[in-house]
Amino acid sequence: MEKINVKVCMGTTCFVMGGANLQELNDIIPRKYGDKVEVNASPCLNLCSINWEYSKAPYVKVDDEIITEATVEKVLETIENKLGNN
Amino acid sequence: MNNAGQAIHLKKEILVRIIKAFLSDNFEEQARLIPYAMRPKGMEVPYRCCVYKERAIIKDRTIAGLGFPIEEDDETVSLATYAKKATERKEISDKNLTVLQAACQGCKTNRIYVTDLCQGCIARPCLSSCKFGAVSIINGRSVIDDSKCKKCQMCVQACPYNAIVKITVPCEDACPVGAIKKDETGFASIDFEKCISCGKCISACPFGAVHERSQIIDILKAIKSGKKVIAMVAPSIAGQFPGSIYQLKTAIKKAGFYDVYEVAQGADITAQTEAKEFSERMHLANEKATEWLNEWVNEGGYGEKPETQEDDNVQHFMTTSCCAGYNQLIKKHMPEIKPFVSDTKTPMYYTAEIVKQAYPDSVTVFVSPCVAKRAEGYENPNVDYIMNFEELGALFVAKKIEILECEETPYVKESSKQGRNFGFSGGVAESVKASLKNENSVKPCIINGLNKESIRQLRKYAKSGECDSGCNLIEVMCCEGGCIGGNATMNNPKTAKKLINELSEKSQDIEKV
């Protein structure tokens, strides 16, 4: 099974619009999923420049899936779904 | 830490749009369009009944972002006019909060309420538990007469079905000094005679109804006019933005500031001055105690206690004085503790003094985790404006500044480990301790957050002149967790503290005095 890859955008916009709180994922994910899920802080993913700009920040990418207005709960839910599907 | 979730997202988005509007060619028109840009025609309505109400509320929030009180808006004045007035404004107000009263309508007044879970039982413990005769049984169910109810909650505790609840008004509950009240019209309003600017109501309101009156336009105006605008960043800023504080300095300069100072530099002075003051005060206490003891022994250990014991100068504890919320509390509600409070100035005070000496013609901006510093800044002629972390963040977003891509710029003076730790609970007491040669003379006690209970405790100490279990240094922080728990912080306190520690571990120890 391939590892699920989580990219938390640490660009200024995402960070300011709520992404600061997502840093918790760096602790939660390894504890919860071990090596099944990999989590990385990423420089600006350039998602804020598309479409709705900062309105939908913060962004997180779980594999190819983009989570808008991301929260810790939303990210964990997406991971759960992926793990269930695999 | 602000818990208002989406409401805070909305406030930040509005700030970004205000700043963008200011930076555009036509501030007034762009400001007028903010509610329409955020809630365009045909958009799905996210929170309220219709798009028109959404826009009206966004307009109100924008008024606060432009620095005006929402309460005084009569709805006829357009945002374009407010924007114009903001650019023409010469002075800022001492009333630093404003309530969006339209948001208060969804919130029920504080009361005790019997829910449908009431089983109409035979025992009726609610009836017997009420000392005020407020509970009666109508149609087999409990009913509370609000005119008699004293909200003691005895019935809430007595009901075995948990059928009786206390309906709380979050802002009222959060306010430690009873300054915000939902009045009979159903709107919350702030009594500025009582308000200590702690910002707890801002964080508590799930509707995001309480706003800081922003000074961002005044700051941007100063930058635009070519003045030397200097940012002084609070120690708690480490951990609030991506990247290092050195990258942050570059980013702030990119945003238009002339220079950036770490307020931790002033915190070092606060710690050392407070340490000196502490040993002087406590030395006096020890000396006097020895004096009394000698006198008493000389007199054979009998008779009246010597009069010197009434001496006001002799104290058994000292409290810190760097928290702006606490200082407002002392001024407005607790003058009795004043003699025990350190006379040492705050880190912001010393930093602003240093900056104004270096650049007498500068405009100083304190970058703050909380609203209380607005009150302190207003009283300090060396501090021109306050910009909170959210506003700085919004400025970065509006100007598209990527902090992680910025170079590192050193600060004028590297601050100490202890100065950089000022922003979390326990950090200040620790810094005073570390500044003393005889560290063991400090027995600290920490007030981690002002609330009704801790205020009662402080009053007790002031009255008795003694602190519990022989403590002699009380560190008081208004926000739980310290400044990292301030209303305008963006990171959760746990992560923020971790990031501050990473920085301070690499910093040198404070010099002893």
The pLDDT of residue B307: 53
- Beta carbons of B13 and A43 less than 8 Å apart: no
CB < 8 Å to A16, chain B? 12, 241, 390, 393-394, 396-397, 490
CB < 8 Å to A15, chain B? 241-242, 393, 403, 490
**CA B415 to CA B99: how far, in whole Å?**
38
Q: Which of B16, B251, B401 has the CB atom closest to A54's CB atom?
A: B16
ipTM for the assembly: 0.89
Alpha carbon separation from B72 to B99, B101, B182 (Å, rounded) = 10, 11, 17
Residue range of the domain that includes A58: 4-85
End-to-end CA distance of chain B: 34
The pLDDT of residue B69: 97
- Beta carbons of B402 and A11 less than 8 Å apart: yes
Of the residues A8, A15, A22, A49, the best mutation for testing chain B's interface (the one with the most B CB atoms within 10 Å of its CB) is A15
Report, as an integer, the average pLDDT of B442-450.
96
Residue B453 one-letter amino acid: E
**Chain A residue closest to B240 (CA)?**
A20
A39-49 burial, b at 16+ Cβ within 10 Å, e below that, comes to: bebbebbebbe
Residue appearing with tokens 């309220």: B48
Query: In this model, does residue B310 exceed pLDDT 60?
Result: no
**Which CATH number covers residue A14?**
3.40.30.10
Of the residues B38, B391, B491, B500, the best mutation for testing chain A's interface (the one with the most A CB atoms within 10 Å of its CB) is B491
**CA B458 to CA B335: how far, in whole Å?**
11
Q: Which of B394, B405, B495 has the CB atom closest to A16's CB atom?
A: B394
**In this structure, are residues B151 and B112 in contact, taking their beta carbons and an 8 Å threshold?**
yes
- Please state whether beta strands B188-190 and B180-182 pair in parallel, antiparallel, or not at all (unpaired): antiparallel
Query: In this model, does residue B210 exceed pLDDT 70?
Result: yes
The pLDDT of residue B306: 52
Q: Does A25 touch chain B (CB under 8 A)?
A: no
CB < 8 Å to B12, chain A? 16-17
Q: Which of B466, B478, B207 is nearest to B346 (CA)?
A: B478
- Beta carbons of B241 and A43 less than 8 Å apart: no
- Beta carbons of A20 and B397 less than 8 Å apart: no
The model's pLDDT over B135-172, given as tens digits with 9 standing for 90+, comes to 999 999 999 999 999 999 999 999 999 999 999 899 99
**In this structure, are residues B56 and B102 in contact, taking their beta carbons and an 8 Å threshold?**
yes
For residues A51 and B66, which has the higher predicted lDDT (pLDDT)?
Answer: B66
The pLDDT of residue B106: 74
Q: Residue B201, exposed/middle/buried by CB under 10 A (0-12, 13-18, 19+)? A: buried
The model's pLDDT over B361-381, given as tens digits with 9 standing for 90+, comes to 999 999 999 999 999 999 999
Query: In this model, does residue B1 exceed pLDDT 50?
Result: no
pTM of the model: 0.91
The pLDDT of residue B285: 74
Report, as an integer, the average pLDDT of B213-222.
98
Percent of chain B with pLDDT over 70: 96
**Chain A residue closest to B251 (CA)?**
A12
The model's pLDDT over A52-83, given as tens digits with 9 standing for 90+, comes to 555 788 999 999 999 999 999 999 999 999 98
Give B487's contacts (C-beta < 8 A, 6+ positions apart): B2, B198, B199, B200, B202, B203, B212, B369, B370, B371, B479
| Interface size between A and B, measured as CB pairs under 8 A | 63
In total, how many domains does chain A have? Answer: 1
Q: Which of B68, B47, B79, B58 is nearest to B14 (CA)?
A: B58
The pLDDT of residue B296: 74
Angle between helices B324-333 and B372-379 (to 10 degrees): 70
For residues B73 and A55, which has the higher predicted lDDT (pLDDT)?
Answer: B73
**CA B410 to CA B417: how far, in whole Å?**
16
Domains of chain B: 5-104+177-214 (no CATH), 111-167 (3.30.70.20), 245-293+312-505 (no CATH)
Q: Which of B251, B397, B495 has the CB atom closest to A13's CB atom?
A: B397
- Beta carbons of A20 and B492 less than 8 Å apart: yes
The pLDDT of residue B359: 97
The model's pLDDT over B28-38, given as tens digits with 9 standing for 90+, comes to 999 999 999 99
* B455 token code pair: 């205020």
The pLDDT of residue B7: 83
